[in-house]
Chain A
Amino acid sequence: MNRVAIDPITRIEGHLRVEIQVEDGVIREARCSGALYRGLEQILVGRHPLDAQKITQRICGVCPLAHSTAASLCLDDALGLTPPRNGQLLRNLIYGANFLHNHILHFYHLALPDYLSSWALPGALSPGTDEDRRFFREESQELAEHYLKALEMRRKAQELVALFGGKMPHDMSIVPGGVTYRPTLGEVAAFRFRLKEIAGFIEGTYIPDILLLAERYHDHFQLGRVGKLLTFGCFPLDEGRLFPAGAIFDGEFVPFDPGEIREGFAHSWYSGDGPQPPWEEEAAPDLDKAGAYSWIKSPRYRGEPCEVGPAARAAVGLQVGSPEFQSLAQDLLREANASPAALSSVMGRHLARGIEALFLARAMERWLSELNLFAPVAVEYKIPEESGGQGLVDAPRGALGHWIRISGKIIARYQVIAPTTWNASPRDGEGKPGPIEQALQGTVVSGDGTLEAGRIVRSFDPCLACAIQ
């Protein structure tokens, strides 16, 4: 039995340690450890409820809009606010831009170096290994050029956020009740032209590159699979969410019920074991807890560890999504010669990101045309003496929940369960491994397992700052 600790896992957000035990060329056991605790939920207690929207964004600088959106939905709920349609559209446009940024960054800059030859990228960017490389030289060269082009595309996606959101990272304009900014016609035009350029890149470069990767590494549709998927859905409008909520348990669709979420911490550095409902959770750090190996807790849905993220959104969308989404997803799955059941895999996750990036970019063009620059963008708020609320929305990496309790007009309790809390969770009280641990276990490896583990872990796009806060 060969034990390998991979720490730091680079090309992800934050501090993740993964330990694998390899026997006869197979990963027999895997453990994910989140290695940093800041305690932002504790920092929020006693503060003004509106500060939550500014502070929770700073959980994560890669997907701050996810927390910005979840916190605003949470406060809308607690304060009894319904943003006007313009406010909803602007929020979705700002958040959508963050999604596009995230997926382009993830594919080209975080995941792709695992497949490029060591000579293709310069200096510290080079993966430094040529194990299992399957591209022709010219293809590697072209993909490396796309890597550089994608740096520019992701920057322009950030500029989309700033155009309506003030700045990025950490947008300013999303607030409970709507947004603070009504863009000018010129800014809408500036948004539209950048969006067109990014949408063109997604359709003309990003999707073909995913399909090329899927062709050369078709076996990766079998690599790193998980059985149960969950999504809260995202991009809310009065008529519903662009990506609907739901769960897939071993191929079967299960309607989403937020009352079924529990969070345990049997193997995490907090006193007690849980599981508890997130809206009344109590967990204080305990550095010396026996049997604990992570700062990440173990959220479960109907008692099950669930993969969250693009594969879950695509799988649910294929069952209950719009006809337009279903037809796009089916087309691209067919082109990649893969079945919907293969979405929960290393390659399935990359493909699902591409599908939704394209679908989202097209939806954003529609939302942009719907904006009425002369109608209100927000409703005014009033802080209640006592209240509670929840904000559930998918982040680029998956299901994100914020829960607030307001007492005496200040925050009495704030709870966050982020996508990577689900995906990188440690074993729960019943000994069930978290989704990434499941995806790693049983994998056949060629060397010490670092290459395969890296590819599997990165396909989830982990964000550790979100997972632990």
Chain B
Amino acid sequence: MRGEARTVVWFQAAGCTGCSVSLMNAAYPDIKNLLLDELVPGKSIALKFHSTLMGPTGRPALEVLERVPEEEAGEYVLVVEGAIPTASEGRYGTVGDVPIAERTVALARKALAVLAFGSCASYGGIPAGAPNPAGCVGIGELLRREGIEVPVVNVPGCPPHSRWFVETVVTLLVRGLPGPEDLDDAGRLRSVYSGLIHEHCPRRPDFDVARFAPYFGERGCLYELGCRGPFTDAACPEHAWNDSVNWCIRAGHPCIGCTEPDFPDRFSPFFRKLSLEEEKASYRGAR
């Protein structure tokens, strides 16, 4: 009934579970469809480990985590949520008394591909903010350090939109592993992260005639209040959030650049207009 099912192991590292909650906010297909139904004709995913949702606990749960790489080597997709703490031999984070970093490496080494879901898993994100107390890094960086060559696809955002997960997973199911030409310089599928927020922003006409909002919630472009839309690749204006009912800029709040590498440090303080020099340095092409 579910056709060919691709095993997925969803491993939570140093995160907040917000990415999982975002996935559960998917509308069409919704989380029930993702868990129970064919996603495309003849193909589905089989979620075998997800700490927040799975039934088993303790030892039986841990056994799933240890069995899948043995029994399904090269066949499963590892989804990582959260950054990987690497300081002090990874002792800032453990699961079943083993460092999260060690478990992540063991899971990634035998995976068909790794999907980094969220800005923490992609680039380190919030816990990697200065001074990065636990030495957090994204999964791509961890695998580079370990010399492990498994394809990694980043799906950043704090959290990412559920639709970006669906777009990425369906692309993998239908077209197989992405080639270098399918990914941008931040490791994201070009087809999903296809333009700057500023380019599709409904407040762009305000920017073009320099009609700037004097305060949060007022009419006008939010650039003077610190909006990072001109420097942030994400489909928020097209997709909007939570069954498309709203999104950040529509709600009168400047974009804080949560899908970009080096979030939050590159854009913090969030509510400050960038100077001309900073603006130039912020364009991705300039880095």
Contact = CB atoms under 8 A, between A and B. Distances in A.
Interface in B23-38: 24-27, 30-32, 35-36
Interface string A20-64: 000000000000000111111011001110110011001111101
B94 interface: yes
B276 interface: no
A378 B93 contact: no
Interface stretch (B54-62, B105-113, B165-173, B278-286): B54-62
A133 interface: no
Contacts of B131: 42-43
Contacts of B132: 43
Interface string B45-89: 011111111111111111010000000000000000000010010
B133 A38 contact: yes
A55 B97 contact: no
A351 to B, nearest CB: 23
A11 B51 CA distance: 6
Contacts of B217: 173, 179-182, 377-378
Nearest to B126: A58
A322 interface: no
Contacts of A164: 246, 251
A54 B85 CA distance: 22
B156 to A, nearest CB: 14
Nearest to A36: B93
A38 B14 contact: yes
Interface string B88-117: 100111111100100000000000000000
Interface residues of A, number: 81
B62 to A, nearest CB: 7
B51 A170 contact: no
A8 B269 contact: no
A162 B242 CA distance: 6
Interface in A149-175: 151-152, 154-155, 158-159, 161-170, 172-173, 175
A222 B272 CA distance: 54
Query: Which of the listed residues B62, B96, B246 has the most CB atoms from chain A within 10 Å of its own CB?
Result: B246
A159 B215 CA distance: 25
A167 B126 contact: no
B159 interface: yes
A162 B245 contact: yes
A373 interface: no
B20 interface: yes
Contacts of B64: 124
Contacts of B96: 7-8, 17
Nearest to B92: A37
Contacts of A37: 85, 92-93, 133-134
Interface string A101-132: 00000000110010000100111111111000
Interface string B162-199: 00000000000000000000000000000000000000
A173 B158 CA distance: 15
Given A43-B133, A50-B269, A121-B55, A172 B248 contact: yes
A310 to B, nearest CB: 20
Contacts of A43: 126-127, 129-133
Given A7-B96, A59-B16, A124-B64, A47 B252 contact: no
Contact of B252 (A9, A181, A285, A450): A181
Interface string B1-36: 000000000001011111111101111001110011
B247 interface: yes
B23 to A, nearest CB: 10
A6 interface: yes
A14 interface: yes
A123 B14 CA distance: 26
Given A37-B92, A51-B270, A166-B246, A124 B54 contact: yes
Interface residues of B, number: 80
B72 to A, nearest CB: 14
Tell me the dominant secondary structure on chain B's binding face: loop
Contacts of A158: 21, 25, 242
B251 A170 contact: no
A60 B17 contact: yes
Contacts of B216: 175, 180, 378
A1 B93 CA distance: 29
Contacts of B20: 61
A10 B264 contact: no
Contacts of A180: 216-217, 251-253
A124 B47 contact: yes
Interface string A122-150: 11111111000000000000000000100
B217 to A, nearest CB: 4
Interface in B213-227: 215-217
Contacts of A123: 35, 46-48
Contacts of B130: 43, 46
B139 interface: no
Contact of B62 (A8, A55, A148): A8
Contacts of B250: 166
A10 B11 CA distance: 12
Contacts of B272: 48
B241 interface: yes
B91 A287 contact: yes
Contacts of B127: 38-40, 43
Contacts of A113: 55
A64 B62 CA distance: 28
B243 interface: yes
B61 A38 contact: no
B207 interface: no
Query: Which of the listed residues A10, A12, A60, A125 has the most CB atoms from chain B within 10 Å of its own CB?
Result: A10
Interface string B120-136: 00000011011111101
A364 B136 CA distance: 40
Contacts of A450: 57-58
Contacts of A11: 51-55, 57
Contacts of B256: 54
Query: Which of the listed residues B18, B47, B250 has the most CB atoms from chain A within 10 Å of its own CB?
Result: B18
A167 B246 contact: yes
A168 B25 contact: yes
23 contacts: A5-B97, A9-B58, A15-B93, A17-B96, A38-B127, A38-B133, A39-B133, A42-B131, A42-B133, A43-B133, A47-B269, A55-B264, A58-B126, A61-B20, A109-B53, A124-B54, A162-B247, A166-B241, A166-B253, A170-B158, A175-B253, A180-B217, A182-B217
Instruction: In the A-B complex, list the 5 residue pairs whose CB atoms are closest, starting with the nearest.
Output: A61-B18, A39-B133, A166-B251, A48-B269, A162-B242
Given A10-B57, A37-B85, A167-B251, 10 more contacts: A8-B96, A55-B268, A61-B20, A126-B55, A151-B30, A162-B247, A169-B21, A181-B217, A181-B252, A287-B92
